[in-house]
Structure 1
Amino acid sequence: MSARPGSECAPVYAWRVLGLPVVLLCMMLFAGAAAANVFVADRRAYRPADQPLLRSVGIVVNAGRQVGSAFLVGECHAVTTFHSAFFRDAQAASSEEPIGVPDDVPHRGHALAFHIGPDPERPGVFRHRSVARVVDFGNYHPAAPRGMTGDWAILQLDDCLGREYGFLPTLRPTSADYLPQGPLMTISFPYSGGKRAGVAVEEGCRARDSGPVIGLIAVDCAFEAGMSGGPVLEKQGDGQWRVVGIMQLRFSPVKRVLPAFEYRHRNQMVHAVAFFRALERVLAQRAGRPH
């Protein structure tokens, strides 16, 4: 399965220097799935998804194709990016006039499939799947930094797979401009790893810069197509890992390994501050229902 979200292209500085039409053209001509932003060395390794944290990450499938990664945040809920959940609509938004998210973007209840539990012997095969319905999402648009903070979607699963696979704890933001200081970890399913067993994991990358608006964070974690929607976790003082964001996009991706971190090729996550309150509300509503 393969697909390439159309919002993984334009660098932030282009909005100011080149103007919106050039940025939108860049979004239409995004690089192939092989292009990635990797700094110094590729630290990602494929591991069996049979350990806590790793086993709680899966993929989002739309019309039979993987459109991103996703992770469990409760017994019956998962989180991914908006542009993965609404793949075709996000592509349209990046290539049309900048009028905001199109009027025909599906509303809550939009159905996808969530797959989890990669088979250790058969790459690309997952043990469990569930219908996943979008129950909340951000006010996303790729043509402006503020609109990019809405690149998140909360999914409710018909089958509560979190009871078997566990779910990832999300850090409650203490400040809107909080920049993660500890080591980061990403867990995801890049398209390029479709023939590899297990899940791709990188540990030890770092947050580099916040902005250009609150809710967006530049990171030096390696990122390529298919990783969108995967969790970014920060190691806490007590040694525990907590979700601090979602892998979102790579700016000006290249096919070579970059010798050092470069802002114009930065990779970006949506900080948990952008979706934490919505997530709390959705989980609280679920907790109040009879089982």
Structure 2
Amino acid sequence: MKDHRRPPPPPSAAAAGEPPLNPLDRQQCPGSSVFKASDALPLPLYLTNGVFFAIFFSVAYFLLHRWREKIRTSTPLHVITLSEIAALVSLVASVVYLLGFFGVVNAEKVFDDQLTIISPDKGEEAKKMLSQEDEEIVRSVVEGSTPSYSLESKIGDCRRAAGIRRAAVERLTGQSLKGLPLDGFDYESVLGQCCEMPVGYVVVPVGVAGPLLLDGREYTVPMATTEGCLVASTNRGCKAIYVSGGATSTVLRDGMTRAPVVRFGSARRAAELKLFLEEPDNFDSLAVVFNRFPQKLIGKKMIGGHDIALYNPCLP
């Protein structure tokens, strides 16, 4: 005598310590099938639709033909036979099925559009969300209790400081900086050098012109610009120089020009200062106060209304 026993049920996800899987979550799992309303039909979907479409059109044609005959024979329309009753039932059933089918398909489409499937890119963005500590710093920057320029020195991480400052600017202005890149740049390299309080960076296309034959050596000149034809015209100039045998250069003076501006109450006072500085006898008295090397200060003076700009190249 054989012992027939019912096999034990498979362990459920809850028993295994895993959260139960929502049927709607099957769309979010790669490789899983998507449940539709047509999955419960015994026939394939295309065959079922074909059958009901055939029933609908054939029954509609039959009823219209019978209606035409009743009109010709003056038979009351409400007098119907058994075949006409079956045709009406089939017509109503096919209409109900077709309306329900297309309604379910449209509902599934709308529902699928509303489902949010987390892609790898959105997952990376979720990882980049500010932490609770950073949120507190952003809030303090927005409230004004923490100066924006002191974030690098306070946090010690230039990339993190730029992200916090960026979030604070977005909240203060109500505008998104999504189009401005943040990652992929070394903010340590610009700290205290060329840009204060960064919130991102701008990518500028770089073209190359050349080769430029200068002093017997060939140089490829990189040019970062968004101006059309600039690199092309420079490249044509480099080619002309190259074909003509190259160019030679001579350094006449090496220095850095500074132009402090002095503002007076009237243009006459500005002109008086210009005349005063152009006198060689007055230059020595100024050099005692401002510079130990007056012989190396050679510059021009430009007057603009009440202002006078003093162009002085600082020579080594």
State TM-score, norm by structure 1: 0.18
Q: Which has the larger radius of gyration?
A: 2
Structure number having the greater helix percentage: 2
Q: Could you say which structure has the greater relative contact order, defined with CA pairs below 8 angstroms and 6 or more residues apart?
A: 1
Query: Which protein is richer in strand relative to its size?
Result: 1
